[in-house]
Every structure is written in C-alpha cells, then in structure tokens.
Amino acid sequence: MECIFCEIVSGKIATDIVYQDEDFIAFRDIHPQAPKHLVIIPKAHIPSLNQLKTEHRNLMGGLILLARELANQEGIGTGYRLSISCGAEGGQVVPHLHLHLIGGRKLSDWLG
C-alpha cells in the first residue's frame, strides 16, 4: 500500500506546496480546519511518533522550528496550534508522521 504523503514527496500527487527543502515538505491541508492549515512532514517515511529513534532528535527539532517559521510566513505567528496524532487510536489517519499547523482565527480551548 502506497503512502499518500510519500507520493506527495515524490511528486506523484500534486498539492499546494508552501515549503520544501531536503528534509521537509509543507503543504495546505485539503480539508482545512481553520483559515490557515498546513501539513508539515519529514520527507523520510516515519509511520508515527512511536517509530522515532534517538537519531531523529534533530529532525523533530527542525520540524518544530520550521512550523514556527511557516506560522510567521503565513501571518499567524502571534497564535497558532501545532498538532501531531499518534496511531489510529490517537486519531492519526495517514501513517506518515506529520504535524498540523493551524491558525488564522481564535482557536477554542478544546482540551479544557
């Protein structure tokens, strides 16, 4: 079974890419939950947080720093949400580690 995010990385599936470098790609979510909703993924296929290894420490730090940079680029640097789901029970739909950057409106306190 092909990974849809790996197909985006390889160029087999077109999407609205807002950022790309040798390690990451960021694109607009096709079902946005807010005016600004990006999906940021490592290009390397890592199925979920549970498959992270010690050597991924810098990659994960880079992912968070990139999210901050993209939030500023998108004009939502003063307030946004970052979300990573882990596994089907945690709500992860695509089995490729990814981070959602969401903002552009006042977000509710959904954890409270």
* Positive or negative torsion for Cα 68, 32, 59, 80: positive
Half-sphere exposure of 24 (CA within 13 A, CB side): 23
Q: How far apart are CA 14 and CA 2, in angstroms?
A: 15
C-beta of residue 9 within 8 angstroms of C-beta of residue 43: yes
Considering the candidates 37, 96, 98, 100, report the single residue annotated as catalytic.
98
Q: What is the CA radius of gyration of the chain?
A: 14
| 56 assigned to active site | no
Point out the residues that are catalytic.
98
